[in-house]
Chains A and B, each alone.
Chain A
Amino acid sequence: MATVKPRVDVIIVGMGWTGAIMAKQMTDAGLTVVALERGADRDTQPDFAYPKVADELDGSVHRKFLQSLSQETVTIRHNPAGVAVPYRQMGSFKPGTGVGGAGTHWSGCHFRALPEDLKLRSTVEKRYGRRFIPDGMTIADFPVAYEELEPHFDHFEYVCGTSGRAGVINGVIQEGGNPFEGSRKRDFALPPNPNYLGAEQFYIGARNMGWHPYPIPASNASRPYVNPYGCQMGPCNFCGFCSDYGCINYSKASPNICIIPVLRQRKEFELRANAHVQKVNLDVAGKRATGVTYLDAQGREIEQPADLVLLCAFSLYNVHLMLLSGIGTAYDPKTGLGTLGRNYSYQNLNRVTLFFDKSVQANAFIGNGGAGTTMDDLNGNQLDAAKSGFVGGGIIWARQPGAGPVRGIAVPRGTPNWGTKWKQAITDSFRHSFYFEVQGACMSYRQNYLSLDPTYRDAFGRPLLRMTFDWNENEIKASQFLVSKAQEMSRTLHPVSMVGDAKKDGSHYDVTQYQSTHTCGGAIMGADPTSSALNRYLQSWDVPNVFAIGANAFPQNNGYNPTGMVGALAYWSAKAIREKYLKNPGALA
């Protein structure tokens, strides 16, 4: 029998960005909160302390800061007719675990969604006509507008010490920022970080193309900073251990340094690490959550009752828990019925590497995860989809999160993988090359979805989450178009040579190659309970005292990194809970 703990007001499942945000907001409202984190407790000291973080083998091979797949993973197949097989070794995407979640090992790119991307279906239909959207593409408007989210985008940027340059403030275009962005009320928390060579060269290349380059908004502090919660950050020293790593320097924003220091002082807040939630418990009618059941570090079953359950796990695991708990109806691609699992989407990422001679000091080992240069001239409304032939834009950027030889050294095409020629090539390339990437949107489709696997189980005996996903013609075209533009720009910089990896016609999703951890959708927000799992406040349509906060809510993914949007949605949801739900618990829409 499970041990039953005393009731609390709020349970938070998962202590990454959204868990920390919700815990702060709920305790601000005077509620008692228990946060259940499946992984270990972690903090800068001792977990991210120098020098042990500066260890590529531990960080990028043993993947010390990421989720181990041994206990739970997902299965993957390309289409509904296929048999899914487990994601056995980490490749395409890298979920985190432990206190801070993926918010400890992210890079720091911190964008706001474009206003037009939040109403994507309406925007496309209005501009190109209804029939322009291919059959089977299930894109939808977010049921929330940019203007509603603006204060929350702003607040999250200030919590994170986001370093950037505003493009539009109160409708007025600002020199050096993104002229195509949604209007903001004020500038970023901090000015941009300095440019490494690739970021500087991007300015030249982009201007050669007639584009409008601007600094990537980066939650890697460019100056000493104290956030609105009184948490301190130090300036990024470009240590080069950023993506995949915890920050040694209190520079990369994370739940651990930006929010949790406040929570740890609060008597209303209790953090239980190594507490692995197995399911959300519902009442007999299945209409109300009564709490959750979790396993503690010793595998003992514990039942935690609560009035409100906030699912704040990584997007995939939020969907998994909802499916396992019967919160909503599983989606069936044959009938198009059911809400849970639909509209799974991803990110369309490809790279172009530029090689130079030894006079060019690119120094790829110098790195800052989020900082760099990008442009929006092929994103949002700037992309003419009628001409490009695909829906959803993307950005091209120069980024340099820090490279090292264990993480891999890019070499010119035709170089062997071993032997003297390979040694010569890596020696020539290591300090004298940099890359640009294209990060394209990824639309949602009828047959790309999440469900429970019929065969494979996790270490606790639960069915694994099954991902059915493959590239569609729209995304392959987008990849080819954006990579060709990146190459065109790169040629104006006269590299000695260049390699690019646009997706080939008919190519399939390859889970062995890292692409992006931006897994989106599966429990999406929408205006209609028959085609979405969550309402506009991220509240379950079916079980109103459950909210699922995260990128699981995106009806499709845009060309930006999701964290800025995820944080804003968390604050948006928290506001609705505090101002509406607590006064009158029940369905908010």
Chain B
Amino acid sequence: MSEPEDDSSISPSRRRFFRSLSLIPVAVALGSCGDRPDDRSAAGAAEKSYAPGFFTPDEWAFVLAVCDRLIPADEVGPGAVDLGVPEFLDRHMQTPYASGAIWYMQGPFVEAAPEFGYQGRLPLREILRVGIAEMDAHCRKAFEGKAFVQLSGAQQESLLAIAEAGSLQFEAVSSKLFFAYLLGEVRNGYFADPAYGGNKGMGSWKMIGYPGARADYTDWVTVRDKPYPLPPVDLAGRRG
């Protein structure tokens, strides 16, 4: 599905990109104290390193901003943008999975209680695409013509929280559903094997102490008195 990427093969510009990202925790720590402009530094760098094939430029800007809000870089660990989650999302949206390959997609499409799951006709990639457009349309109405990415971080967070609760009135797809799938995909990109484009350098695995694809713990099942000692490995055999 993807070309495994050895650390040594990262281009100099890409390396500069990662170095610049290491500064982000400070910016975010400052920014989280109050309103601040959206974090364009990460967005700008990521834009240079990866050319999206699915998302339009406007959607890509939204994806970069929303990744940074949902999983920010902070003192706990790397953020979603640092780890390449926008790239994951763009690539994942181009898979059969995101086109509904394992969903039942035949109609009629009727309204049903939430206990029955999403009953609409949109596959995942369209839920995200339509939801992004709805979110931007909402922002333009509510914030004097500004798109989501032009709002402050705090405003963005507040909008996402309202969407999460299902309280934004979207027309084509419910804001709650859009948010749930968006968050699910951001988390998938943050945690999935680096082969899929996110979780670069196994950053999320290191943060939580997940050994990744090691898949052999015979020697550690009954050890109680010390933390599991080995760093993660990924599907390509790289060690974190």
Contact = CB atoms under 8 A, between A and B. Distances in A.
Q: State whether these chains interact.
A: yes
Residue with the greatest number of chain B CB neighbours at <10 A, chosen from A53, A69, A237, A419: A419
A88 interface: yes
Given A51-B213, A54-B215, A62 B102 contact: yes
Nearest to B80: A418
A63 B104 CA distance: 14
A54 B97 CA distance: 19
Interface string B184-207: 001110111101100000001101
Interface in B66-98: 69-72, 74-77, 95, 97
B208 A510 contact: no
Interface string B144-160: 00000000000001001
A-side interface size class? 35 or more
Contacts of A508: 113, 115
A510 B117 CA distance: 8
Contacts of A426: 208
A199 to B, nearest CB: 9
B190 to A, nearest CB: 8
A415 interface: no
Contacts of B112: 85
B12 interface: no
Nearest to A239: B215
Given A76-B116, A405-B208, A418-B183, A90 B215 contact: no
A385 to B, nearest CB: 28
B227 interface: yes
A455 interface: yes
Interface string A420-433: 10011011001100
B117 A366 contact: no
Residue with the greatest number of chain A CB neighbours at <10 A, chosen from B32, B97, B212, B221: B221
A57 B188 contact: yes
A331 interface: no
Interface string A497-513: 00000000000111110
B70 A194 contact: no
Contacts of B209: 427, 430-431
Given A88-B103, A89-B118, A194 B213 contact: no
A55 B213 contact: yes
B103 A69 contact: yes
A303 interface: no
Residue with the greatest number of chain A CB neighbours at <10 A, chosen from B117, B205, B214, B222: B117
Residue with the greatest number of chain A CB neighbours at <10 A, chosen from B119, B196, B215, B220: B215
B172 interface: no
B141 interface: no
A262 B216 CA distance: 29
A87 to B, nearest CB: 7
B97 A237 contact: no
Nearest to B76: A423
B223 to A, nearest CB: 7
Interface string A359-384: 00101011000000000000000000
B100 interface: yes
B210 A430 contact: yes
Contact of B216 (A87, A237, A417, A457): A237
A434 interface: no
A404 interface: yes
Interface in B101-123: 101-106, 108, 110, 112-119
Contacts of B208: 405, 409, 426-427, 430-431
Nearest to B66: A418
Contacts of A56: 191-193
B193 A361 contact: no
Contact of A361 (B97, B102, B214, B223): B223
A197 B192 contact: no
Contacts of B225: 361
A365 B218 contact: no
A195 B221 contact: yes
Contacts of A456: 106, 108
A451 to B, nearest CB: 17
A512 B237 CA distance: 35
Contact of B102 (A63, A455, A457, A511): A63
Interface in B43-74: 69-72, 74
Contacts of A91: 117
B106 A68 contact: no
A510 B116 CA distance: 6
Contacts of B188: 57, 61, 406
Contacts of B126: none
10 A-B pairs closest in CB distance: A405-B191, A54-B213, A239-B215, A57-B192, A430-B208, A510-B115, A366-B217, A423-B76, A68-B102, A238-B217
Interface of A: 50-57, 61-63, 68-70, 73, 76, 78, 83, 85-91, 194-197, 235, 237-241, 248, 361, 363, 365-366, 404-406, 409, 417-420, 423-424, 426-427, 430-431, 455-457, 508-512
9 contacts: A57-B188, A57-B196, A69-B102, A70-B100, A85-B110, A196-B221, A239-B216, A404-B191, A427-B209
Given A88-B119, A420-B76, 18 more contacts: A51-B213, A55-B195, A56-B191, A57-B192, A61-B192, A69-B102, A237-B217, A240-B215, A405-B191, A406-B188, A418-B71, A418-B186, A419-B70, A423-B71, A430-B208, A430-B210, A431-B208, A508-B115
